[in-house]
Chains A and B, each alone.
Chain A
Amino acid sequence: MAPDSPRLDLLQGTLDLLILRALRSEAMHGWAVSERIQQISQDVLQVNQGSLYPALHRLEHRGWIKAEWRVSELGRRARFYSLTTAGRKQLEIEAENWSKLTDAIARVLRMA
């Protein structure tokens, strides 16, 4: 594997959370997901487009999102992803874990 794999691993978990969050309100295709994340984070978070799709597929395999072919704004068919019920639960769990984690880190940082 490439030497940058440790960073990728860290990103993976976060990326999953971001994808789930992005898909919470509506179904969208992969490009829109990356755009949405970028947009909401005000361009702070740049999604590595190469690793977006493996992440999407992994989430699909876990049953948290489901995919279907729909006609896109280009008039061509595109693969649209949407949250499943399990995915919604997972999002809640992960969001909570995330805030716990960041709180804890923030606290540690303040202490130091």
Chain B
Amino acid sequence: MSWKDFALRLRALLFRRRTDEELQEELQFHIEMQSRKNRCHEVDPAEAKRRARLQFGSVVRAMEECRDVRGISSIEILAKDLRFGLRMLWKSQGFTLIALLTLALGIGANTVIFSIVNAVLLRPLPFPEPDRLVAIYTYLASDGNESFSYPDFLDWQRENRSFAYLATYRPTDFTLVGTDVPEHVQGERISAEFFDSLGMKLRLGRTFRLDEDRPGATPVALVSEGLWRRRYGAQAAILGQAVAIDGVAHTIVGVVPANFHFSGKEFVAGDVYIPIGQSNDWALWKRQFTYNYGIGRLKPGVTLQQAREDMDAIALRLAQRYPETNKNAGVALAPLKQDITGESAIALYVLLGAVGFVLVIACVNIANLLLARSTARMREFAVRATLGASPSRCICQLLSESVLLSVIGGLLGLALAVWGSAGAFSLLPQKLPRANEIGFDARVLLFTLGTSLIAGVLFGLAPALRISQQDLQGTLKEGGRGLSGTRHRLQSVFIVAEMALALVLLTGAGLMIRTLMELRSVDPGFNPRNILNFEVTLPPSFATKPAEAVREQVRQITVNLESLPGVEAASHVDAPLPMQGNDTVTFWLEGEPKPPSENDMHSATDLGVEPSYLKALHIPLKKGRFISESDTMHSPSVVVIDELLARKYFPNEDPVGKHLSISAFDTQCEIVGVVGHAKQFGLTEGGRDGEPQLYYASMQVPDKFIFFWTHAGFVVRTKGEPLAMVAAIRAMLEKMSSQQNIYGVLTLERIVSDSVASQRFTMILLGIFAVLALVLASIGIYGVTSFAVGQRTHEIGLRVTLGAQRGDVLRLVLGQGAGTAVFGVLVGTAAALGLTRLLEKMLYGVSAYDPFTFAGVAIFLTVVALAASYIPAHRAMRVDPVVALRHE
């Protein structure tokens, strides 16, 4: 079709009336001219005109032929088909309602899941040139990607030739002191170029200058837009104002916009940012303390591979320069987006696949319904075909009906998705990266539209092809009964497909349910019931007090906590609690020479606790004693180890009484007891076998670490509901000092349950999809069997007349349905064996090929299929032969 042709057709379509009038005018003009010519010979003008008309022939026909030239445009045909389709849908409201409902559910669910996949996995990160952003880690063969030390970062920054910007951050808790009560806020210590690396513009003001990111520089800070609005009423004059952070006045130089969303490792989009280089934390400058995470922006034209080679060379140099800390330590670079979303990708794609299966089953069901209806409409199309409609014209007519159906269904689904998304999104695990970017954008709408169209073609094609291939004469003669084998074969294929897809989903859901059951029965090594975990901000004045005073304050808080009615036990915890992360210490055993490098030492998860910790968490004491009140700064250092550490380093001897040296503490400690292992990395231990644990007395922590304690963690075992104790605890803390407050309150039960949130999320959604699939597939089997029975009423009547028993009839119908279903189950089992592998990483305590789940699901689905075909089979059994034979 040339451009000219298209333009003319378009004009004819848009201005149909006018085009027609013009055509008429043109032809009239011709006749007029002709009659004038005729008048030269004729005297009678009327006769001249009559002859002109005669010469011209049929004006109507000429007009029709001219219209044919411009074509009744395909759009016009479509409009006609759609109008007709609407009428057909309206005529069979029952069918339309069921089909629309099925589609709306299917497409709605797909839209919701896709909107999550879109935001988390597909959309680029919300920063300029996001492909140049990378995450940077230290790499240890034993631990993989890990946080790094600040001095390492400075060397990387100075020596690299690959990065336009390299920046580091470190989540930190801050206390804001104003005129009234101090406020605890979360925030980050960042290097000066952090926001420049991301390419993020501030809401107000400026980012840090390089000379502000050094020890002794004037204290400056950025605040979040949220804090700016909350505390400063969004006044522009905030720039230049001072805010007291941890007791030090900082000048506010900028405001970070509210739409700043960064899901980098451990990053907390908090309220306060201060330059990391100003920190007075001595540990920051030691290479053995690795608390930093980092990002970089590659220089234009530098590939990831080149940057890796560059950084590898630097790591090698640092390992030579600082063997004690950097031996065997590499640098790992990962594309930022992959680093952020990599872990969620499998689960999300599995869910997208699962919800796609549900839609396919829905489409198959509707195709089945349409197929049944198409039998009824055979006659209609036979008549159409006889009157000259081409097969492709008939297919178009039927397809436009089904696409109309699917697009309306899609719109309803979209409405459903928008309306129901809040509920679905609330199920999302909290750790899901980029969750705050989820929403409906153009791509989601396009996806919904595309899915609807494809669905419409998918379920419309089978009946359409079926009808276009029918034997016209036969159908007209048969009176539209149209009994033919292909139809049954096609329906059997549908049933097999439905059963297979439903089985795959049920198996997936079954495996996830078993995983959660396994997880529920996992003993975490402690009793998480009735335990409260919280942090306390000590009064800002403690930042400058001697270590002994801080220790005393913390000790006093524990004593006061234990004296509260309703509290059974309380302990200071100088480390992340189990399932809240972990701290690691390196150590060497008595009798071993001190290893030259940190990376050659043994390592264990460490927890600094008080004597009541064991009582609070109900961790069993296996040998010796736990830390006691008498372990103080004035007594020999002691540690308690867990069974894993005992087994690993003292396989055939009693560890109690032995000694080990903790590298960071510079002292040798006596092992005084052995306790049970408490799972530190979630119920599944994050797939690891569990890392040994080491407890030291928090009251024996050397002075140099005490300044960390301005934010101190506590656990409390309560007699009743732990959250009910918060008010009393807060009151007690405020009574000690109005400058002291509590934050980060969580129950350990909640923490444990959150540690399996992603499994639970996958299980719930897979479960919902599997149930949907099951219901749809059952409806499908029921529908097909009933239809087959209806078609065979005559035959069954004949059989009964010839002496078939009712049981025979039941067996006949049921047998056929069951045969198809069992075949579907077999196909589905084969498919599931291939697909459940994708779930492997999320499973716990159950194999991806768990025979129990596979067999259970297969049997269950077969029973459901039998039940669904039993009802129509039962009906067939009761067929009255006399009625059936008269049925003709």
Contact = CB atoms under 8 A, between A and B. Distances in A.
Interface in A38-56: 48-54
Which range holds the interface residue count of chain A? 20 to 34
A92 B401 CA distance: 48
A30 B37 CA distance: 14
> Taking each of B25, B26, B61, B65, which has the highest tally of chain A beta carbons within 10 Å of its own beta carbon?
B26
B2 A63 contact: yes
A58 interface: yes
- Label chain B's interface by main secondary structure: helix
B316 interface: no
Interface string B1-40: 0101100110000000000001101110110111011000
A30 to B, nearest CB: 5
A72 interface: yes
B44 interface: no
Given A57-B69, A58-B69, A63-B2, A50 B33 contact: no
Nearest to A63: B4
B305 interface: no
Contacts of B88: none
Nearest to A32: B33
Contacts of A51: 62, 65
B26 A50 contact: no
A32 B26 CA distance: 12
> Taking each of B22, B30, B61, B62, which has the highest tally of chain A beta carbons within 10 Å of its own beta carbon?
B30
Contact of A49 (B2, B9, B34, B66): B34
A60 to B, nearest CB: 7
B730 to A, nearest CB: 84
A50 B58 contact: yes
Contacts of B57: 48-50
B29 A72 contact: yes
A52 B4 CA distance: 20
A48 B65 CA distance: 13
B33 A54 contact: no
Given A61-B8, A76-B29, A54 B56 contact: no
Nearest to A49: B56
B27 A53 contact: yes
Contacts of A74: 29, 32-33, 36
B5 A79 contact: no
B25 to A, nearest CB: 8
A29 interface: yes
Given A53-B62, A79-B29, A60 B68 contact: no
Given A49-B57, A51-B65, A62 B5 contact: yes
B29 A62 contact: no
A75 to B, nearest CB: 11
Contact of B30 (A31, A54, A58, A77): A31
Given A54-B62, A61-B8, A62-B5, A31 B34 contact: yes
Contacts of B65: 50-51, 53-54
Nearest to B36: A74
B62 A30 contact: no
A50 B2 contact: no
A61 B62 contact: no
Nearest to A76: B29
Contacts of A63: 2, 4-5
A76 B33 CA distance: 11
B66 A53 contact: yes
A7 to B, nearest CB: 14
A54 B8 contact: no
A95 interface: no
A48 B62 CA distance: 11
A78 interface: yes
B481 to A, nearest CB: 34
Contacts of B801: none
B50 to A, nearest CB: 15
Interface string B37-79: 1000000000000000001111001100110111000000000
Contact of B33 (A31, A48, A58, A77): A31
A77 B25 CA distance: 9
Contacts of A49: 30, 34, 55-57
Contacts of B68: 54
Nearest to B57: A50
Given A61-B4, A61-B70, A63-B5, A53 B26 contact: yes
Nearest to B27: A53
Nearest to A69: B22
A75 B614 CA distance: 111
Given A48-B57, A50-B56, A63-B5, A57 B66 contact: yes
A96 B25 CA distance: 35
Nearest to B26: A79
Nearest to A30: B30
B34 A57 contact: no
Interface string A69-86: 000101011110000000
A40 B57 CA distance: 23
Contacts of A53: 23, 26-27, 30, 62, 65-66
A106 B32 CA distance: 41
Contacts of B36: 74
Nearest to B64: A54
B51 to A, nearest CB: 12
Contacts of A48: 57
Contacts of A50: 56-58, 61-62, 65
B63 to A, nearest CB: 8
> Taking each of B23, B56, B58, which has the highest tally of chain A beta carbons within 10 Å of its own beta carbon?
B56
Given A30-B30, A31-B29, A53-B26, A61 B69 contact: yes
A61 B61 CA distance: 19
B587 to A, nearest CB: 88
A36 B823 CA distance: 77
A30 B69 CA distance: 16
A67 to B, nearest CB: 9
A52 B27 CA distance: 10
A60 B26 CA distance: 14
Nearest to A78: B29
Contacts of B58: 50
A58 B8 CA distance: 11
A62 to B, nearest CB: 7
A60 B8 CA distance: 9
Interface string A1-37: 0000000000000000000000000000111100100
Contacts of A60: 4, 8
A54 B27 CA distance: 11
A54 B61 CA distance: 10
A48 B56 CA distance: 7
Contacts of B5: 61-63
A46 B859 CA distance: 82
Contacts of A77: 25
Contacts of B37: 35
Nearest to B58: A50
Nearest to B8: A61
A54 B34 contact: no
Contacts of A72: 29
Contacts of B23: 53
A35 B22 CA distance: 22
23 contacts: A29-B30, A30-B29, A49-B55, A50-B57, A50-B62, A53-B23, A53-B27, A53-B30, A53-B66, A54-B62, A54-B65, A57-B70, A60-B4, A61-B2, A61-B5, A61-B69, A61-B70, A63-B5, A76-B29, A78-B29, A79-B22, A79-B25, A79-B29
Interface of B: 2, 4-5, 8-9, 22-23, 25-27, 29-30, 32-34, 36-37, 55-58, 61-62, 65-66, 68-70
Given A31-B29, A51-B62, A74-B32, 17 more contacts: A35-B37, A48-B57, A49-B30, A49-B56, A50-B57, A51-B65, A52-B30, A53-B23, A53-B62, A58-B69, A60-B4, A61-B2, A61-B9, A61-B69, A74-B33, A74-B36, A79-B22
The 9 closest A-B pairs by CB, nearest first: A50-B57, A54-B65, A63-B4, A31-B33, A57-B69, A31-B30, A49-B56, A50-B62, A79-B26
